[in-house]
């Protein structure tokens, strides 16, 4: 989706006026302006929400600014949001890899991207805006939508923001993206970008808030400072910035906190390259696709799959379930009945 020329011009106008009105471009700030975060004060217990004046709500809901007064009003609201949410924006480090996150509970639950967390129940480091480094641990991962939750291990309470509702998102509404592009830098506030929601559904949200490496896992906010998405990946164009809808977290909250891992990251769906007849009471292969893992392993049309890596296969649905538990690149033994023989073949799981 591409903006009409008039909207693009307005967006460029805002981008030029925002620094003039006093907001540091790209979120940069001298060390003296970096927000410090108290570890255990009454202020840190507050939910970081922002009042939304009626006129600001109208503009942020999707209206185009038509005057300098409108731009100043939007700038004031952006500043209110930034001032309130900054203490809850964190850097995330796992080994040499860096990403971003946002604290959403006083107990220290942090939303981030699954590809930042990588795995469940592993140590990970959370970096506050003032540079303090905290021990944390990964909880659950919903890989298919790229959602993950971390838990800060040190005692709170922690400053946090509220999760919004994906169903309330309107196309064209203004939003704020924050994160740590390039990884955490001491003396620099989390970087802020301003843009619009271009597309939103249960699986993905797309905005024109430019993201770069290190932003993954950072939050997308609405006009009230509520999290509406988490940065996931970058598309082929500058306007294709993909975010995990916050509903992916709220709908699966219990599973994520329980440390469950399910699904596969985009582009990492495992497959064999075979097809079976619908409704068949056994996993009979009716087609083997060329140059796929099944073809390379020697699976033939007419084979009946009876086992997969030590588990019994009763029909094609059970085979699909067993394959879905594997990762691309893993090796597995596949047992097939071919005529009067039962053969065990070695197959390397492919990715769809």
Per the DSSP assignment, residues forming a β-bridge with 284 are 304
* CATH number of the structural domain 5-88+160-262: 2.40.10.10
Kind and range of the H or E run holding 75: helix 68-85
Span 53-80, average pLDDT: 81
Confidence of residue 49 (pLDDT cuts 50, 70, 90): low
- The whole-number average pLDDT for the span 285-297 is 93
Taking the C-alpha atoms of residue 58 and residue 73, their distance in angstroms, rounded to an integer, is 11
Q: Do domains 5-88+160-262 and 270-351 have the same CATH topology?
A: no
Tell me the whole-structure pTM to 2 decimals. 0.72
The two tokens of residue 88 are 């809850």
pLDDT tens-place string over residues 148-187: 999 999 988 999 999 998 888 989 999 999 999 999 998 8
Give 229-254 pLDDT, tens digit per residue. Answer: 999 998 777 778 999 999 999 999 99
Most confident range, picked from 45-49, 52-56, 254-258: 254-258
Kindly give the pairing relationship between strand 261-262 and strand 133-142: parallel
- Residue 13: pLDDT above 70? no
Structure tokens at 241: 């910035």
Please answer whether residues 39 and 131 qualify as being in contact, where contact means their C-beta atoms are separated by less than 8 angstroms.
no
Burial of 10 (0-12, 13-18, 19+ CB in 10 A): middle
What is the pLDDT of the chain when averaged over all its residues?
A: 83
Long-range contacts of the stretch 88-91 (C-beta < 8 A, 24+): 88/48, 88/158, 88/159, 88/160, 88/161, 89/129, 89/178, 89/179, 89/180, 89/190, 89/218, 89/219, 90/126, 90/127, 90/128, 90/129, 91/126, 91/127, 91/180, 91/183, 91/184
Only one residue has tokens 């981030």, namely 112
Check: CATH 2.30.42.10 for 270-351? yes
Q: What residue ranges do the domains of the chain occupy?
A: 5-88+160-262, 270-351
């Amino acid at each position: 989706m591409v903006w009409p020329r008039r909207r693009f011009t307005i967006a460029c106008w805002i981008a030029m006026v925002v620094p003039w009105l006093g907001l540091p471009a790209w979120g940069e700030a001298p060390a003296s302006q970096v927000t410090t975060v108290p570890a255990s004060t009454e202020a840190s217990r507050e939910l970081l929400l922002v009042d939304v004046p009626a006129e600001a709500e109208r503009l942020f809901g999707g209206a185009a600014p038509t005057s300098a007064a409108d731009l100043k009003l939007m700038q004031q609201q952006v500043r209110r949001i930034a001032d309130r949410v900054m203490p809850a924006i964190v850097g995330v480090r796992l080994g040499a890899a860096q990403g971003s996150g946002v604290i959403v509970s006083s107990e220290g639950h942090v939303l981030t991207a699954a590809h930042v967390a990588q795995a469940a129940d592993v140590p990970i480091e959370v970096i506050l805006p003032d540079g303090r480094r905290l021990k944390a641990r990964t909880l659950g991962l919903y890989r298919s939508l790229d959602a993950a939750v971390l838990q800060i291990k040190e005692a709170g309470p922690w400053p946090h923001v509220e999760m919004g509702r994906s169903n309330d998102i309107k196309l064209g509404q203004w939003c704020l993206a924050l994160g740590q592009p390039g990884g955490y830098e001491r003396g620099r506030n989390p970087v802020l970008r301003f843009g619009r929601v271009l597309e939103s559904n249960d699986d993905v949200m797309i905005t024109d808030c430019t993201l770069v490496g290190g932003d993954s896992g950072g939050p997308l906010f609405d006009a009230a400072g509520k999290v509406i998405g988490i940065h996931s990946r970058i598309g082929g164009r500058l306007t294709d910035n993909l975010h995990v809808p916050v509903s992916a977290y709220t709908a699966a909250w219990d599973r994520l906190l329980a440390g469950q891992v399910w699904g596969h990251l985009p582009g990492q769906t495992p497959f064999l390259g075979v097809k079976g007849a619908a409704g068949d009471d056994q996993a009979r292969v009716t087609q083997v696709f060329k140059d796929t893992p099944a073809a390379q392993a020697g699976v033939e049309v007419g084979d009946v799959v009876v086992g997969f890596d030590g588990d019994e296969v009763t029909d094609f649905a059970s085979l699909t379930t067993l394959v879905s538990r594997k990762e691309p690149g893993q090796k597995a033994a596949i047992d097939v009945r071919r005529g009067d023989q039962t053969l065990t073949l070695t197959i390397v799981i492919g990715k769809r």
